[in-house]
A and B are shown apart, each in its own frame.
Chain A
Amino acid sequence: MSLLSSHPNHIDLSRQQAPEVVEYDIIIIGSGAGGGIAAEIFSNAGLSVCLIEEGPLKTRADFTMREATAYPDLYQEAAGRKTKDKGISILQGRSVGGSTTVNWTSSFRTPDKTLQYWRHEYAIDGLSPKKLLPWFQRIEQQLNMQPWGMSPNANNQVLLEGAQRLGWPTKVISRNVKGCANLGYCGMGCPLDAKQSMLVTSIPQAMNKGAVLYSRARCERVIGDSHKVSGVLLRAMNEQGQAIDKVIQLNGRHVILSAGAIGTPAIMLRSQLDDPHELIGKRTFLHPVAAVAAQMNELIEPFRGAPQSIYSDHFLWRDGVNGKLGYKLEVPPIHPVLGSSLIPLHGNAHHEVFSQLPYMHASLALLRDGFHPQSKGGAVELDEFDYPRLDYPLNEYIWEGVRHALLSMVELQFAAGATRVRPLHMDAHWYSSWSKAKSAIQKLPLQPIRSLLFSAHVMGGAVMGSDPARSVVNSEGRFHYRDNLWVMDGSLFPTSLGVNPQLTIYAICAKLASSLTKQLQS
């Protein structure tokens, strides 16, 4: 799809002038999982669509499997985004295709337990497991999501063997790939166009039906009156991803916010929309991730092969849906730049650890936040430059889950034959046995910064529901206080999911976009 960069319907706002007639049926802000799939559905229905992306348009030819260019080109803040207190590092996409361009392709249906919790706690209609089933099936088929057919790479094999020896159930992860060569560079953009991201599927589909794509264009705010929005103000972004002094206005009959769970609330806050219950940006969830590195006897090369192919949900619901924090076990790939910055050491001590990279395995635990009264998530706020910042306080409830997860991961790694293990924590050392690691982890001071946490899944912040006192948008995704402003992305989720989110975002947004299309056509 390298032709996308020369497509007549693409406008790089940092370099090109906007066309004079700028009125669309639908303006979609954000080209990730939600915006991409919605753009295709609206375009297929014959509506005029404009798709706005803050990041650049980068395609296969740009995906050279080098971290040096991939992070500045394809990630928010060059992959250096962090929560307000720096306690959690956030990996989030920022280029055409959003996070779907750089995700590790893991595809899961939303757990039934999560959907039932939403129905009971948030009175969300229309998202029962039964009603979503055809949407999951449709997306799985469209994006070729299938259980990974090749052998797991050595890094995933450690998870598989460790879990099997402990009797913890595992499964093979479904991946949205077609003609995947098992390279391991999904996080830097697929150099083969094998990943069925929005960049190579829905977005070119929509553009071929007439949708216009603006890249390097950030939505400053929506405009309109107290009943309806009439359009958006866009600001051009430069090569460094910084806003520049060039603003244009687009008019639209409907505006869809699909800017992700940090971007969407930020636009709503900048637009100073009605928010009588101060809910915009609240309940933002991250699936906080704790991780442990392990040294293995055999060659792992954690930078090679499909990054995620095995998972275990043994602890996902360990204390029921709304009890202690449950977690999903997966593995991350490790490449030099991100890997080296996760080892909180300097000088030759850093080298002693990182020179073992080819023999290193890492486990991660993705913590299912948002299901307990003590897990309220974070709050998106605007900094002095009107730029979003996520305040995500960490508390004892989270730390209990982190400690439990660290212990489980270490137990698994030793069961799989690790010679030594090292939790990603500033006070942790190498531990050479399960018993030594166990007593050390039980004593580790868990607190922000010293305990390294990560996130690749940002959810919530414009929560859906039927009660305006507890939600920002209704069950159709419409903002409670405007007739034609909609949210279609992961911001809708009132909790985290307990699974990697892309399929949930696709399915729910496809359903919402289809239902809006029907309304507009009748």
Chain B
Amino acid sequence: MPTRRQFFRWSLTSAAALTAGTLSLQWLQEEDWQRLEQANLEFSFLTENDQLLLVIITPAILGSTYLEQWQKNKNITDLLKAIDKAIGFLSISTQKELRQLFDLLWSRLGKLLLAGLWTSWSQASTEALNSFLDHWRNSWLTPLNQGYLGLQQLFMAAFFAQEEAWPLCRYSGPPF
């Protein structure tokens, strides 16, 4: 059995063969790679699995327009840090629910992996992840809708809390 850390590194670094669409990992910048190597020291809620999951899913949740603007000044891992910090302010039972959500997300995306759709996380295309999110959003299962909104709100709030994101909604900021 590989350790979590070995699995994490293998997942992110195994050779990626582009089959169709845009590889989600192509959005990762050099600094993200370096930080993810040591990230475990910096996060208080997000586990290594969560970090991997969120790194992979970020390009689909934010979309290319938001992400390109963000990456002019910041990294995906900055966003993960902001999300991690925000979770720390939620009630303990909400944190527990988020833990369940991330575990569910891991297992659902993991199933796609097991089904041979992707040979590794690194081959997940943004388009496939987008369909995955749409499936959660439009499902008749309320918990999946809840999970979708939970993720979406965590990401959008962390994103638009930063001044770098404000031009994207043409918000000029406070008067002083």
Contacts and interface: CB of A to CB of B under 8 A. Distances in A.
B80 to A, nearest CB: 16
Interface in A283-320: 303
B171 A77 contact: no
B63 A242 contact: no
B137 to A, nearest CB: 7
A426 B136 CA distance: 12
Interface of chain B, main secondary structure = helix
Interface in A343-391: 343-351, 354-355, 357-358, 383-385, 387, 389
A392 to B, nearest CB: 15
Interface in B155-176: 155-157, 159-162, 165-166, 168-171, 174-176
Interface of chain A, main secondary structure = loop
A343 B60 CA distance: 16
Interface in A31-76: 64-68, 72
Contacts of B65: 348, 351
Interface residues of A, number: 50
Interface stretch (A130-138, A333-341, A499-507): A333-341
Interface in A163-215: 183, 185, 191
A351 B152 CA distance: 13
A385 B93 contact: yes
B165 A344 contact: no
B142 A347 contact: no
Contacts of B90: 77-78, 80
A270 interface: no
A385 B159 CA distance: 30
A426 B133 CA distance: 13
A337 B160 contact: yes
Contact of A346 (B94, B152, B162): B152
A80 B94 contact: yes
Given A344-B137, A344-B152, A336 B66 contact: no
A68 B161 contact: yes
Contacts of A281: none
A19 B161 CA distance: 39
Nearest to B146: A86
B145 A449 contact: yes
B63 A341 contact: no
A303 B171 CA distance: 8
Nearest to A183: B175
Contacts of A351: 63, 65-66, 168
B68 to A, nearest CB: 11
Contacts of A338: 157
A241 interface: yes
Nearest to A79: B157
Q: Which 9 pairs, one residue from A and one from B, show the smallest C-beta to C-beta distance?
A: A347-B63, A65-B174, A78-B89, A336-B160, A68-B161, A348-B63, A340-B156, A357-B169, A341-B153
13 contacts: A65-B176, A68-B162, A78-B89, A337-B161, A340-B169, A341-B157, A346-B60, A346-B155, A347-B130, A348-B63, A383-B91, A449-B145, A449-B146
Given A72-B86, A82-B94, 11 more contacts: A67-B160, A72-B89, A78-B89, A191-B176, A337-B156, A337-B160, A341-B153, A346-B62, A347-B60, A350-B63, A354-B169
